[in-house]
Amino acid sequence: MTKCDACNQPWSFFKVLQRLFMMKAAMDCPHCDEKQYIKKDWKRIVVPILILLIVPILLFTVEMSVNVFLLIFSLAALTAFLYMFFTLRLSSVEDWNQN
């Protein structure tokens, strides 16, 4: 489960969802009010995994019925979302501008 980098307290389900879909760079920890950022290393891992889930589906859509395609796409999207939800890593320092 996702934990604050500063106070090491676990975040609630809804706070993690909010963090995943939030467009702002930082979000305050609900426990210690320290700004938390998504780690750069986490995003470097998640993007290729999402691509690896979607590319095979697109390759097999040529002779696939709509129902089968929607089922496989839904399962792949759910798998990607669950992976992102349970592996989200936070940092107290914004590391995007650092080399």
Q: Give residue-wise pLDDT tens across range 7-24.
A: 889 888 888 888 877 767
Percentage of residues of the chain with pLDDT beyond 70: 89
Range of the domain at 84: 13-91
Count, residues in the chain = 99
Residue pLDDT, tens place only, 38-74: 888 887 777 787 777 777 767 666 677 778 777 877 8
- As given in the structure block, the two tokens for residue 39 are 């780690």
Residue 5 lies in a domain: no
How many structural domains is the chain composed of? Answer: 1
pTM score of the predicted model: 0.66
The order of strands in the sheet holding 35-38 is 26-28, 35-38, 90-91
Burial 28-55 (b: 16+ CB within 10 A, else e): ebeeeeebbbbbeeeeeebeeebeebee
